[in-house]
Structure 1
Amino acid sequence: MFITNPQAVRDTYDVALRQIMSIERAEESRRWLAHWPTLAAGPTPLWSLPDLAARLGIAQLAVKDESKRAAPGSFKVLGAPIALVRLIVRQFAAQKWTAADLFAGRHAALLGSFTVVSATDGNHGHALAAAAQSIGCRCVIVIHRYVSEERAASIAAFGARVIRIDGNYDASVVEAARLAAEHGWHVVSDTSWDGYEEIPRDVMQGYGTIAAEAIEQAGSASHATACPFTHVLLQGGVGGLAAGIVSYFTEMWGVQRPMFIVVEPQQADCLLQSALAQRAALATGSVDSVMAGLACGATSPLAWRFLAPSVDGFMTVDDDEAIDAMRIIAAGGPRDVPIVGGESGVAGLAGSIALTNRAGWRERAALDAASRVLLINTEGATAPGLYRELVGRSADDVLAAQVRHTSNR
């Protein structure tokens, strides 16, 4: 399904929204994150895929590859860690601790009993556990029945206590909040609810790093230059990533911002349903998708405040379309580098292909031969066994092909 958003406008960035998320605060988060040794040094690649662009009938296709951000490869390492640091700085304000010292573990002795808890589909929990281990505090992660043992083990490897419940992602969010209230723990969630917005805001603000890097890598340094992209296709989920990206672009370019399209699994269409209802709403499906990171049933109300006026279209893709996109991006081409794109990471590509294959959708999305499209590969093979099963080759094989391709340029 593809719908246009009746609430979308082209205007300068709303002053009230800027008080919540801004380029200035995103840049501060970016500077703080640079002190975390878990992250790869420098920006993640912005790959140009001219062969795939030609196949889609557009001028340019750029893929921001967050699989390279940190092991095991997910954009979530930009959100949970910065939210955790900001939480600790607020809780221990009198200490005047810095992000550099916290990420270096210099205050671990004083934080040994400080406990954070969160629900996850996999990547957010992994990122929070990794940050907690670096900082020296305790971490509890609540997972649901659809999270693979492979993902659960990767979280536990960072010393987190993993609790599995019999329910879906939304049930795990409720359980994490219950445990926090019972034990005096601190919830570090990437979704918001009534009375809980400060930490989700910090999570979303961390994602601004992706937008900042992509803009710089595409050769645009400020709002005085034209936006290098006409379209940005973004993953759905609860809406946090999309909100972090659209807020950055909208503040920078206002009425000249790119067209934003959000892509979700058919079974987890909470953002599309929010556009139809014109308020934060629930998904209509089972919320059980191979795109595990996007298998969310409830829109984050805070994220929706940013998406409602800025996202031009919402669409859904099915699991088979996502799997096909994984294989396409892994194969590469004569001029296209092979990329390890995870099940949720390729949602934007799956959406681009769906738009190309449906003339009516393509027209409503204003995609044409002059379009310059940005996609974000939000994850690599975060579940290597599943990746191999779906793609028919291992992530290591694809990475080897990537190395060969880039060395032959």
Structure 2
Amino acid sequence: MCKNKLSGIKMIYRSNREEVKRSKFPSFLTIDKLEEVKSFHKTMNNYKKTPLVNLNSLAKELGLRSILVKDESKRGGLNSFKVLGSSYAIAKLICKRLNLRLKDVNFNYLKSEEVKNKTGEITFVTCSDGNHGRGVAWTAREIGQKAVVYLPKGTARRRVEAIIELGAKAIVTDLNYDDTVRYAVKIAQENNWEIVQDTAWEGYTEIPIWIMQGYAAMAYEALEQIEEMGIKKPTHMFIQAGVGAMAGAVLGFCVNYFNGKHPITTVIEPVNAACMFRSAEINDGKPHGVIGGLETIMAGLACGEPILYGWEILRDFSDAFSMCPDYVTARGMRILANPLENDEKVISGESGAVGTGFISLIMQRKELTEIKEKLALNQNSTVILFSTEGATDPVNYRSVVWDGKYNIPY
């Protein structure tokens, strides 16, 4: 484990990438599986690929060949990638109820009165820090159904309002994320509601897998866009993790897409919610949670219990795990909001900018030279990052970008 004088940043690095048998490649995240996901998303009225922003000037400043940022603030007016998972999972769920194949229907058909008459009234329930709940609420509204979203304590007011504006019921608890999940499940079971959650437990695995497949579509888009740009495949990927559903989905798809020769991958988490880091540190192959309030401005990553499927992919195929204090993502937010020269501006929220902040510090701070060298980051490196949300908490966004909140402890 690497430690350094720049407060709070720690990393576990695997010095030699192990060859993993193809039998361990995640079978639910193959190109064929993602073709079905992509085909469904294309039938949604608001669907279009989000931009892949090429930050050439920033790359030059940091001593890299390229930095590519997938900008999910442009995702169908919902300010986050999460709707990719919720929409696909809910569509699969309805098709299962009606004994239909998803590839034989489209989103408009699922919105039809015919479908609603057959299914009756459905209430979808979930726990969310805001973004996943917004995706569930949007999908439920579009197909004429109901949604109830439970949010953990401390959820920003604007994130709650965004869910209510989509016609869902939003309830903020006095619990942390993981306990709110358990509470939401209890209420859903008591009311015979349909749970749509991107974490899994015994007896609840199908919907989380569908959600992860939906999330992986973000990576599929990005890799197609890289090819369209004529850029060589990324050498490095930095992906942030909460429960690990998104990170596992992105990495799992890349493993299949590149036939095991995927980019050097670092998993990033907040210091107080670093369950993947802890699992890697214990190193017994099993997922391990962290407890406590999980305090961080990276609300979308404030999760203490890994999803098994995500953890297994990250365990088997990632190259490093890092935990980062809040000042890392704050720096990333400021960098993306204040582009160099001809680079495009990216509005990135607290859970979206941590990769940008991390790579900037690795390349510029002497205290992190060891990490840079172990990850083989240099002028030949092409880095891909996923800015998974926009300014979903505008008040805090301004505090960070305008007022310099959460500055680096020099």
* Fold similarity call, TM over 0.5: yes
Map residues 209-228 of structure 1 onto 2, 5 A cutoff: 209-219=217-227, 228=233
- 1:2 match: 11
Q: 2:395 aligns with which of 366, 380, 385?
A: 385
- 2:97 match: 91
- 1:82 match: 88
Unmatched segments (≥5 aa) in structure 2: 1-9, 404-410
Deviation for aligned residue 1:209: 1.5
Matches of 1:276 and 1:239 in 2, distance apart? 16
Which residue type is aligned with residue 308 of structure 2?
P
Which residue type is aligned with residue 88 of structure 2?
I
TM-score of the aligned structures, taking structure 1 as reference length: 0.89
CA contact (8 A) 1:78 1:206 kept: yes
Which residue type is aligned with residue 9 of structure 1?
E
Matches of 1:103 and 1:229 in 2, distance apart? 37
- 1:368 match: 378
**Secondary structure in structure 2 of the residue aligned to 1:14:** helix
Map residues 200-211 of structure 1 onto 2, 5 A cutoff: 200-211=208-219
Deviation for aligned residue 1:149: 1.7
Matches of 2:203 and 2:359 in 1, distance apart? 36
CA contact (8 A) 1:128 1:139 kept: yes
- 1:298 match: 305
Matches of 1:236 and 1:132 in 2, distance apart? 26
Unmatched segments (≥5 aa) in structure 1: 394-409
CA contact (8 A) 2:277 2:321 kept: yes
- 2:344 match: 337
Matches of 2:200 and 2:300 in 1, distance apart? 17
CA contact (8 A) 1:6 1:275 kept: no
> Residues 335-380 of structure 1: CA distance to partner in whole angstroms, max 9, x if unpaired?
2111101111101112212322201111122212211000011001
- 2:331 match: 324
Which residue type is aligned with residue 376 of structure 2?
A
CA contact (8 A) 2:335 2:357 kept: no
**Secondary structure in structure 2 of the residue aligned to 1:75:** coil
Deviation for aligned residue 1:193: 1.6
CA contact (8 A) 2:30 2:257 kept: no
> Residues 38-72 of structure 1: CA distance to partner in whole angstroms, max 9, x if unpaired?
33x3x111111122112322111111111111223
Using the TM superposition, name which of 88-97 and 264-273 deviates more: 88-97
- 2:357 match: 350
Q: Say yes or no: does 1:260 pair with 2:265.
A: yes
> Residues 3-46 of structure 1: CA distance to partner in whole angstroms, max 9, x if unpaired?
1248953446435621x33221112111101122233x3x1111
CA contact (8 A) 1:12 1:251 kept: no
**Secondary structure in structure 1 of the residue aligned to 2:170:** strand
Cα 1:377–1:94 shift into 2, 3 Å: closer
- 1:400 match: none
Q: Say yes or no: does 1:130 pair with 2:138.
A: yes
> Residues 76-108 of structure 1: CA distance to partner in whole angstroms, max 9, x if unpaired?
011111011111111221698723234544433
**Secondary structure in structure 1 of the residue aligned to 2:319:** strand
Using the TM superposition, name which of 383-392 and 203-212 deviates more: 383-392
Matches of 2:185 and 2:347 in 1, distance apart? 34
